[in-house]
Amino acid sequence: MPAEALPATASPLARQTAWLKTYQFALRLAEQGKVAAVGDGIAWVEGLPSAAMDEILRFEDGSEALVFHLGSRRIGAILLRQSEQLTAGTAAILTGRRLDIAVGDAYLGRVVDPLGRPLDGGPPLPASPRRPLEAASPPIIGRDFVRRPLISGNKIVDSMLPLGKGQRQLVIGDAGTGKSALALDMVIAQQGRNVRCVYVLISRKRSAVVATIEALRRTGALDYTCVVVAEATAMPGLKFLAPFAGCALAEAWMWVGRDVLVVYDDLSTHARTYRELSLLLRRPPGREAYPGDIFFLHSRLLERSTCLAAHCGGGSMTALPIVETEQGEIAAYIPTNLISITDGQIYLDPQLFARGFLPAIDVTRSVSRIGGKAQHPAIRAEAGRMKLDFLQFLELEVFTRFGSRLEASIEAKIRRGRLLRELLKQERLAPLSPEQHLAWLIAYNEGRFDGLEGDALMTALATLLARAAASPLTLNDGREAWRRAVIEWRKPP
Ligand SMILES: Nc1ncnc2c1ncn2[C@@H]1O[C@H](COP(=O)(O)OP(=O)(O)OP(=O)(O)O)[C@@H](O)[C@H]1O
Ligand SMILES: [Mg+2]
């Protein structure tokens, strides 16, 4: 009986014996190539005419590489593992396999590299089930509209730039404007919300990697998060693969009906790594020396995040790609690409950051194109009024620079706007629940904060938020109930 015909419960020995009995000697031909040159994380290999794109090559010293460029005489491969012995002349064979990564709940709370190897010194991870790093995005028929909210815990995002589960929202801004801090806060805000998270760190310094993992661990967010790391010192091949590995991990959870949030920190470094690899492999450079398919690379990554329809399990993958701009230039090549791929962007402004308006989100240049549908009607109604006030204030504030005398009504609006700006500031690692959002929005719209300044304002806000957190009311309880129970703590002046 052949080994495949044995029952599933058959012992490994029985399987082996069955396999031996039916084994037939046959002539097998295999190609063997050899390395022509190696360096900069790239290997040029000769003598493998039937190599396919994206196939894994194995070298006799144990190194591995991914076929990335097919030339007429040589193939170019990006190295995934490299031993000291790998030099010109080392033999190479084709494995016929494509890259995949083990997935599943064992990855929660773990820090892994893009090939799924643990980096946290913990126990080894199970080898199956596995998912390919590159997979087709879900078909249109299998997708649903984005209609469930993803709570970010951030005052500005949840009120003015609401996110829905399955949305792809770009976080964009200059270096050091708080992009990673914002994304990390959103991961931390998922505590107790039954959302799994994947945080992908691409080409970060070890200090930044450790700080991120520590923040996750300290807040308890690591329990529902997997961190995929390709440090700055890692091989370029691993940095290139990191977002795809994170995506594959998230996708596995999405397909079993879970909600997942995945952060790619950041895709501008990823683009630069891809450019570096492509130039080393002598691909023709295009705009800003990036290879021509850089748009395709990022779009096929982000297309995989979506909200699945009920007949596909109803899971979702929300993506927060981060991109860095130079001197606020959002019209550069990679930022415009990503803006056009995603469903909206959160723009972080260096000037707001310098003035201490943290998080430095510039509302006028940020947008969420689909999340509004997912926002709770109670919050939408309150936030609409507040947003109008805030945008009007931003326009009017420009006039105050000239120092001219203003009408009393305009002055009142500006005073209220300044108050609102203070209220919108938010510390790191202090996410708000939707109920707390509703409470402060109603309190602001009712004018309960008017006349307060500085510490008094912060104390009033903190008291209100604490009352809202302790209150049994939910978002569906109606404005009146909220007003009476939580907001009436302070009579308008
Ligand atoms: N809401 C906030 N409150 C206080 N400090 C903040 C806030 N957001 C960010 N910061 C501080 O701003 C600094 C820069 O933040 P962060 O590293 O997240 O920026 P970044 O845009 O990711 O930078 P990089 O370009 O280096 O990745 C950090 O020191 C962080 O602690
Ligand atoms: Mg950062």
How many angstroms is it from 265 CA to the middle of ligand 2?
Answer: 7
Q: Is the CB of 356 under 6 A from ligand 1?
A: no
d(CA 347, CA 362): 6
How many angstroms is it from 37 CA to the middle of ligand 2?
Answer: 35
Q: What is the pTM of this model?
A: 0.91
Query: In this predicted model, what pLDDT tens digit does every residue of 189-243 receive, in sequence order?
Result: 999 999 999 999 999 999 999 999 999 999 999 999 999 999 999 999 999 999 9
Q: Is the CB of 176 under 6 A from ligand 1?
A: yes
Percent of the chain with pLDDT over 70: 98
For residues 26-45, b (16+ Cβ closer than 10 Å) or e, as one string?
A: eeeeeeebebeebeebbbbb
Of 212, 217, 191, residue with least CA distance to 202? 212
Nearest-atom index, ligand 1, CA of 173: 21
Q: Where are the domains of the chain?
A: 33-98, 101-375, 379-489
Q: Which ligand is nearest to the CA of 174?
A: 1
Active site (annotated) includes residue 193: no
Check whether 406 has a pLDDT greater than 80.
no
Among 428, 429, 458, say which to mutate for ligand 1: greatest number of ligand atoms within 8 Å of CB.
Answer: 428
Give CATH for domain 101-375. Answer: 3.40.50.300
Q: Is the CB of 359 under 6 A from ligand 1?
A: yes
130, 217, 300, 369: the active-site residue = 369
How many angstroms is it from 244 CA to the middle of ligand 1?
Answer: 25
Give CATH for domain 379-489. Answer: 1.20.150.20
d(CA 106, CA 87): 37
Among 172, 326, 357, 358, say which to mutate for ligand 1: greatest number of ligand atoms within 8 Å of CB.
Answer: 358
Q: Is the CB of 436 under 6 A from ligand 1?
A: no
How many angstroms is it from 268 CA to the middle of ligand 2?
Answer: 11
Query: In this predicted model, what pLDDT tens digit does every residue of 407-428 receive, in sequence order?
Result: 888 888 899 999 999 999 999 9
Mean pLDDT score, 386-392: 93
Give domain 33-98's CATH architecture. Answer: Beta Barrel (2.40)
Query: In this predicted model, what pLDDT tens digit does every residue of 3-41 receive, in sequence order?
Result: 667 777 778 888 888 888 888 888 878 889 999 999 999
